[in-house]
Amino acid sequence: MFTGIIQSVGKLNKEKNILEIEILDNLFDMAIGDSIAVDGICLTVKEIFQNKFTVDVSEETLKKTTLGVKSNLNQIVNLEPALRVSDRLGGHIVSGHVDGLGTVENIEKLAKSWLLSIKWKNNNFSKYVVNKGSICVNGISLTIAKYEREGEIFTIAIIPHTWHNTNLNKLNIGDIVNLEADALIKYVEKLLLFNKNSNQDFSSNNISSEWLKENGW
């Protein structure tokens, strides 16, 4: 598990299905077999060098995420080691499993922040986009400032620390990003679908949209 709080950035180098990642700043402890979120994708450390590590990447991951393109261009990626039990949950719960891709539609520089607008590619992703809800973009825990359901676009506000210490400042309009929905939303969805489709009697413990509203969801 991760929190979406980026601890370093790295540079990709691809050889067949092995990715070598050079850590550019803020070295952190890691061991062979550790999980590392690379642009929001949970990968396993295969080898460790002085300021580099390698990971195996499946064809499925290269196809379904941005790594397939980025690894061929030696681009910058966000890095976060797995969460320790004793760590603070500074962002939100992130699994490192990409739910879909988004396209950068607009980047607006304000006086003290940036507004980043992203159009999601997967139509099924719209149900996970909630105003003021959490979302993970390239492994970064962010809050949705507003969204347009018809245009399938959501906007996030980026503070200077996040902008300067992640790869968001490398983005251009038209670039593709990894998206992961809030895990809590997906669990609630699963419970609702299970109750709806199940033939069992859940009358004594029924979870519905009305129940969720009454209990602050």
pLDDT tens-digit series, residues 75-132: 999 999 999 888 888 889 899 999 999 999 999 999 999 999 999 887 778 888 888 8
pLDDT tens-digit series, residues 148-163: 766 689 999 999 999 9
For residue 202, the model assigns a pLDDT of: 46
- CB atoms near residue 57 (< 10 Å): 22
Please state the φ and ψ torsions of residue 46, each to the nearest 5 degrees.
Answer: -100, -50
Mean pLDDT value of segment 55-70: 90
Query: Which residue, 217, 2, 187, 186, is CA-closest to 93?
Result: 2
Q: Tokens at residue 1, please?
A: 């598990």
Full set of structural domains in the chain with CATH:
8-81 (2.40.30.20), 100-184 (2.40.30.20)
pLDDT tens-digit series, residues 15-39: 767 899 999 988 898 999 999 999 9
For residue 197, the model assigns a pLDDT of: 64
Alpha-carbon distance of 22 to 31, in angstroms, equals: 15
